[in-house]
Chain A
């Protein structure tokens, strides 16, 4: 499996990372290197083995349904580049 330049641009766009056209060949080579390395895993026979999605064989701990958090609007908004009263303010996004 190898990536073409168009796929590299698409991945960058999906990740909202600006990539100059000049950077594409280098990124393509790097990504293909990573993919080639991962490809080696395909050599392992995993017939009949459940996909492993984590390193722990335990179940998710659950919490009691109680209000224990919130009421910290100032702290939540502390890093906001822009705000209006207690709202975050962002460049207009309209669908």
Chain B
């Protein structure tokens, strides 16, 4: 399924590479002991290091390093045992030192790969060029005062991972799938919470277009896109803009742009002259970061099961379809919920209930799966009641709705509402006889060859049993009587 833009001069291919900034989950900052929690009072989580007071020296946070290595391992990437920190120099009000400590020449993680799944069921490998550690800047507020910007340095110095992809992405869908998959991997690893609304994960999107078979043309970078949907829309809008520009005889200028989500277009950032002359050089305050191979191996041995592995296991061991497995592993909490329900039960049936009834309820009630009104063990008990013929599938749906409303367990609801399935053959036979006796004309129709009357009888019998008849026993009894 190739994505192309049909222009006046033929069809165009879209080339996309992503730089994702992911905030590392740590208690304290990359180079200081100040806290990283979101939403604290302004400048309350700032040390003299973060505020760049003279003479303050950075000291590397071991956990931030471990988190970067875990992420690298999760991306099946090369871990560089020796890496180095560099200064990236630029002036901005929320960057008190006048430089960002980053890793330029020698990042901590080298080449890796992310496998994305597409709507048509195909998969594609997207190369990861590198991952490096760097510090975040502070936050500027521009809307508080007509002539002033306010600066809060709480975020200054928080550890970020910049994860750079190869330009292997060829459509808005692939760009969205890449961000989703990367976010899922980070969440599984526990190295970034992936919360795009709070800015813990944000993407710079590099877009160019070309005719098929051409070398790359000039790209533009769309900065700080903060949702999966906006990433997809930004690729689409920017590619269309570039095709129009090339076809009208213009030239795409390499520049930094912003995505205006309200209007669905990209626009140029007011460009700062010389802004891109960062004059990187090794930070003289920091010694090389040297990792012990055994320490890396120990981290590798403790990695959790990742989405790809979990998906493969759900398919191979639990018999799920690739699609169902993909949906369930996309969210670690959904996968955990599924595993609780499926344990010792029919996995396919568990998946159907979760992806159908449960997801519908979560959507309707605005709950996440972590605070689901029906906890996983309770849904498991409901499936047990179906399996041991205590209730039939139809009644199970209404028991489920009652569980959502009341928060009670399925057994209590079945007992309190008298929903236990009727398996007493005497009662079922009596109900069948009554329905047949009340509808002699329809019995005649059936005997004359109108087979579909059978369904009508089943419906009437179930109704007289208040929906609680055991379907197999009702069918058997009815068949026997209609001969």
Central interface residue in A65, A73, A93, by most chain B CB within 10 Å: A65
How would residues 85 to 115 of chain B score, 1 for a CB under 8 Å from any chain A CB and 0 otherwise? 0000101110000000000000000000000
How would residues 141 to 170 of chain B score, 1 for a CB under 8 Å from any chain A CB and 0 otherwise? 110111111111100000000000000000
Question: How many residues of chain A get a CB closer than 8 Å to chain B's CBs?
Answer: 39
Q: Contacts A63-B33, A64-B62, A65-B62 known; A76 to B48 CB distance under 8 Å?
A: yes
Q: How many A-B residue pairs have CB under 8 A?
A: 140
* Residues in A neighbouring B63, C-beta threshold 8 A: 64-65
Residues 29-69 (chain A) with a chain B CB within 8 angstroms:
53-54, 56, 58-69
Main secondary structure of the interface of A (DSSP, over half): loop
Are B93's CB and A84's CB within 8 A? no
How far apart are A69's CB and chain B's nearest CB, in angstroms? 4
* Residues in A neighbouring B27, C-beta threshold 8 A: 65-67
In the complex, A60→B42 CA distance in Å?
31
Q: Which of A59, A67, A92 contacts B290 (CB 8 A)?
A: A59
**Contact of B44 with A by CB under 8 A:** yes
* Residues in B neighbouring A4, C-beta threshold 8 A: none
Are B62's CB and A62's CB within 8 A? yes
**Contact of A1 with B by CB under 8 A:** no
**Contact of A85 with B by CB under 8 A:** yes
Chain A's closest residue to B291 (CB) is: A59
Q: Which of B51, B140, B150 contacts A76 (CB 8 A)?
A: B51
Chain A's closest residue to B82 (CB) is: A59
Are B284's CB and A84's CB within 8 A? no
In the complex, A47→B250 CA distance in Å?
46
Question: How many residues of chain B get a CB closer than 8 Å to chain A's CBs?
Answer: 54
* Residues in A neighbouring B144, C-beta threshold 8 A: 84, 87
In the complex, A91→B92 CA distance in Å?
11
How far apart are A17's CB and chain B's nearest CB, in angstroms? 11
**Contact of B340 with A by CB under 8 A:** no
How far apart are A53's CB and chain B's nearest CB, in angstroms? 4
Are B269's CB and A60's CB within 8 A? no
* Residues in B neighbouring A76, C-beta threshold 8 A: 43, 46, 48, 51, 153
Q: Could you list 16 further interchain pairs (A-B, Cβ under 8 angstroms) beyond the known A54-B282, A70-B35?
A: A14-B277, A59-B290, A60-B286, A63-B33, A63-B60, A69-B34, A71-B44, A76-B46, A86-B44, A87-B150, A88-B43, A88-B93, A89-B151, A90-B148, A90-B149, A92-B146
